[in-house]
Amino acid sequence: MKKGKLVLMDGTTFEGEIFGAEVPSAGEVVFSTGMVGYPESLTDPSFEGQILTLTYPLIGNYGVPNEKKDSFGISELFESDRVHIKGLVVSEYSENYSHWHAGKSLGDFLKEAGIPGITGIDTRALTKRLRDKGCMLGKIVVDGNQTQYFDPNKENMIPQVSPKKVKTYKKGNKKLVMIDCGVKNNTIRHFLNRNVTVIRVPWDYDFIEAGEKFDGVFVSNGPGDPALLSETIKIIKKCFSKKVPVFGICLGNQLMGIAAGAKTYKLKYGHRAQNQPCINQETGLCSMTSQNHGFAIDRKTLPKEWDVWFEHANDRTVEGIKHKKLPFMAVQFHPEACPGPVDTENLFDEFIKLL
């Protein structure tokens, strides 16, 4: 393995060894505290532009599965058609893997994608620094080969993960427009499994102006700062004015909040893992959720017509909003999981009842 370094914007340097693609890379360094699920996390479009640190000490021991697609051409094992992270940081990478589903090593998977990984890093010390100082820009240096720092929060990342054309998955009589800002494959599957036809559209496609026929609207997850998506926010406002059912997840929650009149802000280090506790403010029940986000809705700016639906049990940040009278609902976490617990997948059923 070649020698490498992870260099943070503040000058902090961690030395290690490179696996995957032996190329330099840069992005925002973030951490996830999940124990499993790296194939799904690496292909999650919400990680676009980020260098992902995995806090679990041993990574790669179960390899990466070969691709398998369903009858709609949707991957059953990955959350999109490519790796979205800019780099992977681990404490100990296992070159040897063993799993009945495995088709290749994690290193080979990253190499094919052109993405570097770095092992031998004190991920505990790195995570503590990010928790104290907040997520910061960083770069992976390979054998002294450098690259410039890159901030994914200062540009609109959505065109890189959103489709260019409209695509329809025909299933049932109910029709759902899915505003794809970087949707995960398992989210699409949840609607199809519930016999709903999905019309998947680009982030800036005005489907109302185009005359699309639909029963409801879904706003997906995705990377970056929601305040930069003015086109999407305008479209959501149109949906609100028509009073059609609207459901948002992750970035979709933030975009719906902005469209309603609220503001968003950047969290110090975000929520990224499959073990995030959220409390339903209507029932008082706490659910374990899968999360991947760096921004949140400022509850003080939420209009009086809206309620905070879910709240994070650890830091009390807004994890979901719901209109008091109209069929608008959104959550900050990922009820579709992949990876993670399925405690809240019933929210898809709640929304479909509104169609």
Apex CA 24: angle with CA 21 and CA 26, to 5°? 115
Tell me what pLDDT residue 146 has.
86
Please, which residues have CB within 8 angstroms of residue 128's CB and are 6 or more apart in sequence? none
Give the closest residue to 317 by CA, choosing from 329, 305, 309.
309
d(CA 297, CA 302): 8
Q: How many CB atoms lie within 10 A of CB 97?
A: 17
Phi, psi (5° rounding) for residue 322?
-150, 135
Catalytic residue among 84, 190, 312, 334: 334
Catalytic residue among 79, 271, 336, 338: 336
Domains of the chain: 3-154 (3.50.30.20), 158-352 (3.40.50.880)
d(CA 314, CA 286): 11
20: left (phi > 0), else alpha (psi -120 to 50), else beta? left
Is 334 a catalytic site residue? yes
d(CA 149, CA 242): 43
Q: Which two tokens stand for residue 71?
A: 């009858």
d(CA 285, CA 141): 46
Half-sphere exposure of 166 (CA within 13 A, CB side): 13
Is 336 a catalytic site residue? yes
Is 101 a catalytic site residue? no
For the chain, how many residues are written? 355
Tell me what pLDDT residue 50 has.
98
Half-sphere exposure of 54 (CA within 13 A, CB side): 27
Query: Please, are residues 144 and 136 in contact by the beta-carbon 8 Å criterion?
Result: no
Query: Please, are residues 236 and 256 in contact by the beta-carbon 8 Å criterion?
Result: yes
**Tens digit of pLDDT at every position of the chain (355 positions):** 999 999 999 999 999 999 999 999 999 999 999 999 999 999 999 999 999 999 999 999 999 999 999 999 999 999 999 999 999 999 999 999 999 999 999 999 999 999 999 999 999 999 999 999 999 999 999 998 989 999 999 999 999 999 999 999 999 999 999 999 999 999 999 999 999 999 999 999 999 999 999 999 999 999 999 999 999 999 999 999 999 999 999 999 999 999 999 999 999 999 999 999 999 999 999 999 999 999 999 999 999 999 999 999 999 999 999 999 999 999 999 999 999 999 999 999 999 999 9
Q: What is the pTM of this model?
A: 0.97
Q: What is the DSSP letter of 114?
A: T
Catalytic residue among 250, 271, 319, 323: 250
d(CA 220, CA 178): 7
d(CA 291, CA 41): 10
